[in-house]
Amino acid sequence: MKVIVACDSYKGCMTSKQVAKQITAGIHEVNASCEVLSYVIGDGGEGTVQAFKETMHGENVGVATTDAYGRKIQSEYAIIEDGKTAVIEVANIIGLSMHPREKRAPLYAGSYGVGTVMLDAIEKGCKKIIVGLGGSATNDCGIGLLQCLGARFYDANHQYLSPQAVNLDKVRYIDFHRLKELQDIELIAACDVKNHVLGEQGATYVFGRQKGLTQAQLHKIEHGMENFCYQIKRYKKIDLNSLEGGGAAGGLGAIFIGLLGARMESGIDLLLSYGDVEKQIQDCDLVITGEGQSDAQTLFGKVPMGILQVAKRYHKPCICISGALGIGYQKLYDVGFIGVFSIADRAMSFLQALEQAPEKLKNATVAIMRTIDYFYRS
């Protein structure tokens, strides 16, 4: 039997590589002769840099930058394709998981650090930059990124504004004269969301709560985003809210697409186009994928859906093993998964779930593979 394992990370718990290791161990406990090919996978969020590095045998590059709150940090990105392409993820620069829930302050968060990493990659000679937009802690509509690239923002009294979400509603004047030109750089925004910047299904109201915004703050930031979009349209004749996917990373997607000329691509589809996952699936017997939590949102560009589409192309059975199952997970059966499983086997605290996840993932894989192996051998 040949099995392909291609899972996303279980965010905050196990990396994609660690997930694959536990699943592989579970498979071999049932059938030691089984051929298992595992892949490090990312969809534009946490783990994207590592996924591209391993897929393309690239190198990691350390870089000094700033996090969402302007604190100095060391981050890293990958350089692939003989030094021509850089792969950056906002999750390890201005990422949500970098800050405990009780210390999140999205009103004062910004995307400046992303620009610092991009400029470092350009300085090292990269002509193509892939930016994974998943997992950000910010909701600043890219004001921080633009400032890093040279733009400046002022209020009604021509007073300089710091690039934070809290100042979006104060912007009245913008100086683009020093904005760094990136015409010679191919930019790709890797993302799995289609949300626009504004509205009930926009960046703030859909993703703001998980970043720490209160109900009152949601309204304030939405108003600020509306003003910022208006000012950008006034200066650049570009309607940021018209751009599908513009709501990614708290509006950062709109800046990449609308002002910097990036093209938006599905993160998982982009990664799969670089590796040999599809080639190996063609003659396999089973495909296993998964993520931290599978629910109705999994249908919209998440790793399991990307892997399933390849498996279906070659009529291969595909199962999903995830850390937890949320509302609407049953819809995954409707699109073609032959099995959707959670590793949770009893009630426990969140900390217990994190600590026991590796063992539970292996045990769940053993249970699933015993059934599959029985019918495979029959």
State CA 289 to chain mean position distance. Answer: 17
Residue 361's pLDDT is 95
**Residue 181 pLDDT level (bands cut at 50, 70, 90):** confident
Average pLDDT on 67-71 reads: 96
Q: What CATH number is attached to the domain comprising 290?
A: 3.40.50.10350
Mean pLDDT value across residues 45-50: 91
In a shared domain, residues 193 and 220: yes
The sheet with strand 128-132 has its strands ordered as: 59-66, 72-80, 85-89, 128-132, 186-191, 263-266
- Note whether 152 and 61 are same-domain residues: yes
Are 138 and 287 members of one domain? no
Same domain, yes or no, for 294 and 238?
Answer: no
User: Domain range spanning residue 169?
Assistant: 48-267
> What average pLDDT score do residues 75-88 get?
96
Of 267, 297, 331, which residue is a domain's last? 267
Q: Where is the domain boundary, 249, 267, 285?
A: 267
Mean of pLDDT values over 255-279: 94
Is residue 79 domain-shared with residue 156, that is, in the same domain? yes
What pLDDT, on a 0 to 100 scale, did the predictor assign at position 52? 95
Contact 126, 83 (CB under 8 A): yes
Give the three-state DSSP class for 120: helix
Same domain, 53 and 171: yes
CATH of the domain at 73: 3.90.1510.10
| Domain match, 65 and 181 both | yes
40 touches 54 (CB < 8 A): yes
Query: Does residue 250 share a domain with residue 191?
Result: yes
Residue 347 has pLDDT above 70, yes or no: no
Highest mean pLDDT among 154-163, 209-218, 337-346, 365-374 belongs to 154-163
What are the C-alpha distances in Å from 193 to residues 84, 121, 136, 243, 311? 27, 25, 13, 12, 22
- The answer on 243 and 106 residing in a single domain is yes
Domain check: are 251 and 306 in the same one?
no
Q: Is the pLDDT of residue 350 over 80?
A: no
Look-up: residue for tokens 């650049």? 236
Q: What is the pLDDT of residue 355?
A: 76
Q: Work out the widest C-alpha separation in the chain, in whole angstroms.
A: 79
Chain mean pLDDT for the chain? 94
pLDDT of residue 192: 83
pLDDT the model gives residue 128: 97
Same domain, 285 and 334: yes
Specify the number of domains making up the chain. 2
Check whether 354 has a pLDDT greater than 70: no
Contact 42, 20 (CB under 8 A): no
If you average pLDDT over residues 44-56, what whole number do you get?
Answer: 92
Domain end residue (candidates: 267, 291, 315): 267
pLDDT for the residue 183: 83
| 25-39 confidence digits (pLDDT tens) | 999 999 999 999 999
Q: pLDDT grade, residue 345 (50/70/90)?
A: confident
Does 191 lie in the same domain as 60? Answer: yes
What pLDDT shows up at residue 340? 97
Dump pLDDT digits (tens) for 92-144: 999 998 998 888 999 999 999 999 999 999 999 999 999 999 999 999 999 99
Q: Residue 243's pLDDT is what?
A: 97
Helix (H, G, I), strand (E, B) or coil at 300: coil
Residue 348 confidence (pLDDT): 61
What is the C-alpha R_g of the chain? 21
Q: Are 67 and 109 contacting, i.e. CB atoms less than 8 angstroms apart?
A: no
pTM of the model: 0.90
